[in-house]
């Protein structure tokens, strides 16, 4: 593979992760109960819309569960209030470590508060 091709793929991946582009294919993979897996093709546009809506609701619910303002929650996560606002409005979705931290905060908010103290 040429360096230029790899660079194009990485740029496309970043655009998809930031919500600027829709992936060409999305697959749902689940265990089949017999030690294997089944996969099903999903509509990429519908998947992206559902994913955005889920993140928006999850982020707001987590922040409210912790009893924090947008400013306080942004400080806890180490991000700008503007970034948090974009996530809550659905114009951007969190990626990488931020996603993992948000999932942890949703499942165990006290652990995140203790770790930040």
Q: Taking the model in full, what pTM does it have? A: 0.58
Which domains are seen in the chain, by residue range?
Answer: 48-116 (1.10.260.40)
pLDDT digits (tens), the chain, 117 positions: 677 788 888 888 888 777 777 777 888 889 999 999 999 888 888 877 777 667 778 899 999 988 999 999 999 888 999 999 998 888 888 888 888 888 888 888 888 888 887
**Residue 88: closest CA among 63, 116, 105, 113:** 63
Q: What's the CA gap between 117 and 114, in Å, rounded? A: 5
């Amino acid at each position: 593979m040429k360096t230029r091709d790899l660079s194009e793929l990485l740029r496309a991946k970043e655009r998809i992760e930031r919500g600027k582009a829709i992936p060409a294919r999305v697959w749902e993979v689940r265990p089949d109960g017999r030690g294997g897996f089944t996969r099903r093709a999903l509509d990429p546009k519908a998947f992206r819309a559902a994913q955005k809506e889920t993140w928006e609701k999850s982020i707001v619910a987590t922040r409210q569960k912790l009893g924090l303002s947008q400013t306080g929650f942004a400080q806890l996560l180490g991000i700008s209030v503007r970034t948090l606002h974009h996530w809550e409005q659905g114009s951007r979705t969190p990626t990488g470590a931020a996603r993992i931290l948000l999932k942890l905060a949703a499942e165990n908010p006290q652990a995140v508060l203790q770790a930040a103290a």
